[in-house]
Amino acid sequence: MTTPSSLQQLIEALKVLPGVGPKSASRMAYHLLQRDQGGAVNLAHAIEYAIATLNHCKRCNTFTEADVCDICADEQRNTHQLCVVEMPTDLLMIEQTLAYQGLYFVLMGRLSPLDGIGPKDIALSRLLERASDGEVSEVVLATNFTVEGEATAHYLSELLRARGLQVSRIARGLPVGGELEHVDPGTLAQALVERRQL
């Protein structure tokens, strides 16, 4: 028996999610179609709505429905500090610590030559433009402590220091190989407080 083409298309669509292989995608597809068609419709509408309404903040590159996100629009933030993170989830984790009051820039990825992700594949040019606006004096690199995150931090530190900016790196209070979104707020707050110069 062959799988109907519409069902196969749904399975293939679900496989684009991180950590979802063919078996998981198949289970999800059957669950949505057999047990929760209302949930499937809501999911489809939510994805469609998010794609139609979300864009990148013109200042920090995170997702927002406005031209500028709430953090960038907040006049109480320290405009001289710019914290660089890989993903919006990392920004949210740092915000939860209440230990950092500066602004952010979200790369939307990290350098990973083995995966074919180079400087042109992350928002590197936008970061350099943002960091060189004359207002930013310190850039805090808060990429993950993975091989790719470390390589990204090293690459960025060289480019930013060449532009006369003070560059610091969050401290290694985080586990090596750890992802920011999975770290408890206390550990992340300590890592921010103990950041070091590069």
CATH of the domain at 69: 3.40.1360.10
My answer on whether 48 and 77 are in the same domain is no
8 Å CB contact between 165 and 139: yes
**How many domains does the chain fold into?**
2
Could you tell me the pTM of the whole model? 0.80
CATH of the domain at 10: 1.10.8.420
Backbone angles phi, psi at 25, to 5 degrees: -60, -40
Domain hosting 81: range is: 58-197
User: Does the pLDDT at position 194 exceed 80?
Assistant: no
Summarised one tens digit per residue, pLDDT across range 91-130 is 999 999 999 999 999 999 999 988 889 888 899 999 999 9
Percent of the chain at pLDDT exceeding 90: 73
Q: Write the single-letter amino acid at 193.
A: V
My answer on whether 153 and 65 are in the same domain is yes
My answer on whether 41 and 69 are in the same domain is no
